[in-house]
């Protein structure tokens, strides 16, 4: 039986682009999650998400693991990018799309078997 912290670490390591949010990308449950997921979706790459409202254990533990108190939280390649303000600012200045596209390309390359 894995602990919540192990679960979080596994999710972060297995998903190159991961957002912990309130609600789902199709139905965000808070304005900050909505803004963050819109910016992420505008980058055009697939990403994983965890609805912290459905996972109270993750909602309680992740702020301690991440040392970041609020949601949403965007993680790219195992690194915490930040929350709503940071993600939206990065989107506006073009950094988010570059970061997300590079992570997606690396993930795709690592999924392909070597010839």
- Binding site for [2Fe-2S] cluster, by residue number, is 30
Binding residues for glutathione: 22, 59, 71, 84-85
CB 7 within 8 A of CB 58: yes
Torsion sign, CA atoms 91, 43, 33, 81: negative
Binding residues: 22, 30, 59, 71, 84-85
> Would residue 50 be called left, alpha or beta, if left means φ above 0 and alpha means ψ between -120 and 50 degrees?
beta
Torsion sign, CA atoms 80, 82, 88, 92: negative
> Would residue 82 be called left, alpha or beta, if left means φ above 0 and alpha means ψ between -120 and 50 degrees?
left
């Amino acid at each position: 039986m894995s602990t919540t912290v192990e679960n979080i670490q596994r999710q972060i390591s297995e998903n190159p682009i991961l957002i912990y949010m309130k609600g789902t990308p199709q139905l965000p449950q808070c304005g900050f999650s909505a803004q963050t997921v819109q910016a992420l979706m505008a980058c055009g790459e697939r990403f994983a998400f965890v609805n912290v409202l459905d996972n109270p254990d993750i909602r309680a533990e992740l702020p301690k693991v991440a040392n970041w108190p609020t949601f949403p939280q965007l993680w790219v390649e195992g690194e915490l990018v930040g929350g709503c303000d940071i993600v939206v600012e990065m989107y506006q200045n073009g950094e988010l799309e570059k970061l997300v596209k590079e992570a997606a390309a690396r993930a795709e390359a690592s999924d392909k078997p070597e010839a």
